[in-house]
Amino acid sequence: MDTQILTPKKNLPASRVIQKIKGNKPGPTVLFFAGIHGNEPAGVNALARVFEDISAKENNLNGTIYGILGNLKALAEGKRFVDVDLNRLWTKANIKMVSNKKALLEEEKELLDLLDLLKEITKSENGPFYFIDYHTTSSKTLPFITINDSMINRKFAIQFPVPIVLGIEEHLDGPLLSFINQLGYVAIGFESGQHQDPEAVSNSVAFTYLTLVAAGVIGKSDLEDYDKYKMQLKNASNSVNDIFEVVYLHKITGMDVFKMLPGYESFQKINIGTHLATNNSEPVYASFDGMLFMPLYQNQGSDGFFIIRKIPAFALTLSAFLRKIKFDNLFTLLPGVKWEHRDKEILRVDLKVAKYMAKPFFHLLGYRVRYLDGQYLRMYNREKASKKKMYSNEEWW
């Protein structure tokens, strides 16, 4: 299969929807997003190829699949974004604000258009729904999955032979997938490789086919290259299929002049004190042992680099058990812990009282942690919104 990356300016579909294919049998609805960042065309190319191939296989398909373009203007210009990062706008407060604005930035127009499309699809199509968002990175990397750590996401994601990274949403405001997770659906991010690496396209192609099988759109026996695609991703990820968690983000703010030192890659082991970058001509050293993750080698972007660590298997097993028995219902019996609202989606923790309550403990229970100030933590329940009944009959669940 040809893996040359096409030029977005010359090959973009006329519509935001690359293609919609409806199978002859009922089944799930799978939405593939590509080009949320306009300098990441690999997913666009991959979806165009897969949809062209499976258009002739409608008789073997269950449900409906969509290929959707993200930031049309930025894709046309080959830039991450035009005015602001489209993948940082998806908060309820920001959507409400943008909906009431008269003069919109380019990405705000894209936001509202995508939001209308999402509402239309989720209203008109049948579930279960699956949302897949394709990205690439500015540095060399193994292919990997990013998810908000709800059990529906985790169980779906472990079907793929690539590493999984949890916890990014604690450090970022307004990613598309966090918004979709709050609606209760399975939402998976797939980072297929470096921006202009042809392998990023072939990895996205393989992941698309494996997703269609995992979601039940097409049977494994009806996809003759299933084993080839699985082995491709296994080899591309160097057989690494552990689950990791973000422990640090070096944030770039204001007028900072940030520059990574050359040669760093995602999933590269680093030690505390390793010289990684310069920020305003001052050296930046690793503040943790772990693995470097998504070092920034492009002009646009506000995340300099992340540091991740492998999560022990026993912690993953324990967290699944504690969530199953809804252990967090006992939280408010502890001093300094109370629900912020009646809907019991957000816990407020007074650190002066509950000094023993650490972030890893709340992570076990599926809570996303945000600091309000030096005294309080605000904990968002990832599991509360999950539409588990929607997926209860799926094989992977």
Q: What is the CATH number of the domain that holds 36?
A: 3.40.630.10
- Examine the domain organization and report whether 56 and 145 are in the same domain: yes
2 has a pLDDT exceeding 50 = no
Average pLDDT score over residue span 48-69: 91
Whole-number Å distance between alpha carbons of 202 and 42? 9
- pTM attached to this predicted model: 0.92
Instruction: Yes or no: say if 388 and 150 are a contact pair by the CB < 8 Å rule.
Output: no
- Examine the domain organization and report whether 90 and 16 are in the same domain: yes
Q: CB burial class (10 A; 0-12, 13-18, 19+) of residue 119? A: exposed
Element (H, E) at 45: helix 42-54
Using DSSP's 3-state secondary structure scheme, residue 115 falls into helix
Instruction: Yes or no: say if 161 and 241 are a contact pair by the CB < 8 Å rule.
Output: yes
- Examine the domain organization and report whether 172 and 42 are in the same domain: yes
Which residue's structure tokens are 């049948």? 126
Average pLDDT score over residue span 201-221: 96
14 has a pLDDT exceeding 70 = no
Structural domain ending residue among the three candidates 241, 266, 294: 241
- Spatial CA neighbour of 51 closest among 183, 226, 212: 212
CATH at residue 270: 2.40.50
Per-residue confidence band for 6, with pLDDT thresholds at 50, 70 and 90: very low
Per-residue confidence band for 330, with pLDDT thresholds at 50, 70 and 90: confident
Structural domain ending residue among the three candidates 225, 241, 257: 241
Structure tokens at 278: 């310069």
Q: What is the pLDDT of residue 376?
A: 81
358 has a pLDDT exceeding 80 = no
**Domain assignment of residue 226, yes or no:** yes
- Examine the domain organization and report whether 129 and 256 are in the same domain: no
**Domain assignment of residue 392, yes or no:** no
Count of domains for the chain: 3
Q: For residues 337 and 204, which has the higher predicted lDDT (pLDDT)?
A: 204
Could you tell me the residue range of the domain that residue 295 belongs to? 247-310
- Examine the domain organization and report whether 47 and 113 are in the same domain: yes
Average pLDDT over the chain, rounded to whole? 90
- Examine the domain organization and report whether 236 and 261 are in the same domain: no
59 has a pLDDT exceeding 90 = no
Whole-number Å distance between alpha carbons of 296 and 300? 9
- Examine the domain organization and report whether 235 and 266 are in the same domain: no
136 has a pLDDT exceeding 50 = yes
Q: For residues 334 and 236, which has the higher predicted lDDT (pLDDT)?
A: 236
355 has a pLDDT exceeding 80 = no
- Examine the domain organization and report whether 231 and 251 are in the same domain: no
Structure tokens at 302: 């506000």
**Domain assignment of residue 295, yes or no:** yes
Structure tokens at 4: 């040359």
**Domain assignment of residue 274, yes or no:** yes
Average pLDDT score over residue span 73-95: 95
- Examine the domain organization and report whether 31 and 142 are in the same domain: yes
For 78-98, give the DSSP string: TSS-SSS-GGG--SHHHHHHH
Angle at 46 between CA 41 and CA 47, to 5 degrees: 100
Q: Residues 6 or more apart from 338 whose CB is under 8 A from it?
A: 332, 347, 348
Main-chain dihedrals φ then ψ at residue 239, nearest 5 degrees: 60, 20
Whole-number Å distance between alpha carbons of 337 and 351? 9
**Domain assignment of residue 3, yes or no:** no
Q: Residues 6 or more apart from 357 whose CB is under 8 A from it?
A: 334, 336, 337, 349, 351, 377
**Domain assignment of residue 181, yes or no:** yes
**Domain assignment of residue 345, yes or no:** yes
Average pLDDT score over residue span 306-319: 94
- Examine the domain organization and report whether 187 and 38 are in the same domain: yes
Q: What is the pLDDT of residue 15?
A: 80
**Domain assignment of residue 2, yes or no:** no
What is the side-by-side order of every strand in the sheet holding 129-137? 17-22, 62-69, 25-34, 129-137, 186-194, 144-147, 164-166, 243-251, 303-310, 290-293, 268-270
- Examine the domain organization and report whether 237 and 269 are in the same domain: no
- Examine the domain organization and report whether 220 and 265 are in the same domain: no
* pLDDT-wise least confident of 153-167, 273-287, 292-306, 343-357: 343-357
Whole-number Å distance between alpha carbons of 210 and 232? 11
